[in-house]
Amino acid sequence: MAASVLASSVTLTGGLTAPASAAGTSQAVPAADAGVDEPLVIAHRGASGYRPEHTLAAYKLAIQMGADYVEPDLVSTKDGVLVARHENEISGTTDVADHPEFADRRTTKVVDGHEVTGWFTEDFTLAELKTLRAEERLPDVRPGNTRYDGRYQVPTFDEVLDLVARESRRRGEVVGVYPETKHPTYFDSVGLSLEEPLVEALQRHHLNRPNARVYIQSFETGNLRELADTVRVPLVQLVDATGAPYDLQAAGDPRTYADLVTREGLREIATYADSVGANKDIVLPRDAEGYLTLPSSVVDDAHDAGLDVHVWTMRDENRFMARDFWIGTDPNAKGDAFAEYAAFFDAGVDGVFSDYSDTAVAAREAWLAEQRALAG
């Protein structure tokens, strides 16, 4: 990341402004009369339970369903434009394999230490990427979504921000954006650093300011530390249930994600970030059979360190839930999502990434009603 470019950032005014209650480090929405903060609903890759992920249609539907934030994962094109894809390898979420003109772009690369074969965004100009169409990532789990295959383009980050501004006006309420830098060390290594265009886009849309409804997230630590010096929006350290941040691995640093969520690790994260974005298994661990065990202390420890906790990923299908919440035995059938959300809200999380914003909003409403009843 070229810090000098970021350091030249200027603060602009206007654009999407969070309500005063959502400004500052914690952007949780205060419940009107419950005395508890409403956990945030973050649309994971859009309404990806219903539409191919990371498409404008997926984001728009999530906003219509009441999501507080939409989450674009960001990678770069060959000409340095940020686009919304979960990986830079795009054969699983686009029709690139059906384009004979791009057949010779299929290749094998090493990304974050793993060999990956396919087609990569950094080998396509934006104009070329725009000739592709998105496809459902999980056709076996969500076959109904495949009817949308071939309908939507890969959106740029700018297009996502434009959509969010437009839909915020339509809803009469500010909707946030929660971008994630994907593979930042890798993109640095190929000369397509992600952070400068990210900050420039936020500035273009007047969103690099403390009361904008924006979080920036990363599984790596180094780029967040650098962004902490240059952006004015909250940062989120993502933490997986296994493994280690790739930038630490690449530098020979032995620290793992497990180390990051110790009390000491969380205090360290709090020196550069505002929240932890945790794999839900870190908060409510499961046993070998997939049933919940006792909650970890991570939420309390994070709160003690001054960090909020947002968990990922809530999905309605049994296969993604602890066994406690399964309904029936079909892994692709819908489970007891309301009970799962309640378990995480009871555990004290401040936000949930969800593929099903409608379920998340309804479950939050039900849980808040229960809290109000308990409070008398």
Tell me the number of residues near ligand G3P by CB under 6 A: 10
Q: Scanning residues 162 to 201, which ones bind Ca ion (CB under 5 A)? A: 180
Distance, CA of 112 to CA of 37 (rounded, Å): 37
Q: Cβ 301 to ligand G3P, closest distance in Å?
A: 20
Preceding peptide of 313 cis, ω within 30°: yes
Burial label, 328 (beta-carbon count in 10 A; 0-12, 13-18, 19+): exposed
Q: Tell me, residue by residue from 223 to 252, as one string, x for binding to ligand G3P by CB under 6 A and - for no binding.
A: ---------------x--------------
Beta-bridge partner residues of 314: 354
Helix, strand or coil, per DSSP, at residue 97 = helix
Instruction: Count H helices and E strands in the chain, helices first.
Output: 14, 15
Partner whose footprint covers residue 335, from ligand G3P, Ca ion, none (CB < 5 to 8 Å by kind) = none
Q: Cβ 277 to ligand G3P, closest distance in Å?
A: 5
Residue at 88: amino acid letter: N
**In the complex with Ca ion, which residue's Cβ is closer, 180 or 226?**
180
For ligand G3P, which residue of 353, 355, 367, 368 counts as binding (CB under 6 A)?
353
**In the complex with Ca ion, which residue's Cβ is closer, 72 or 197?**
72
8 Å CB contact between 135 and 142: no
Q: Is 277 in the site for ligand G3P (CB under 6 A)?
A: yes
Copy the structure tokens of residue 333: 């059938």
For ligand G3P, which residue of 312, 325, 356, 367 counts as binding (CB under 6 A)?
312
Q: Where do we find the tokens 């791009």?
A: 102
Q: Cβ 136 to ligand G3P, closest distance in Å?
A: 15
For ligand G3P, which residue of 73, 122, 195, 196 counts as binding (CB under 6 A)?
73
Which distant-in-sequence residues (6+ apart) come within 8 Å of 374 by Cβ?
Answer: none
Q: Is 335 in the site for ligand G3P (CB under 6 A)?
A: no
Copy the structure tokens of residue 217: 């997230």
Copy the structure tokens of residue 338: 């309301």
Q: Is 180 in the site for ligand G3P (CB under 6 A)?
A: yes
Query: Which residues form the interface with Ca ion (CB under 5 A)?
Result: 73, 180
Residues binding ligand G3P (CB under 6 A): 44, 73, 86, 180, 217, 238, 277, 312-313, 353
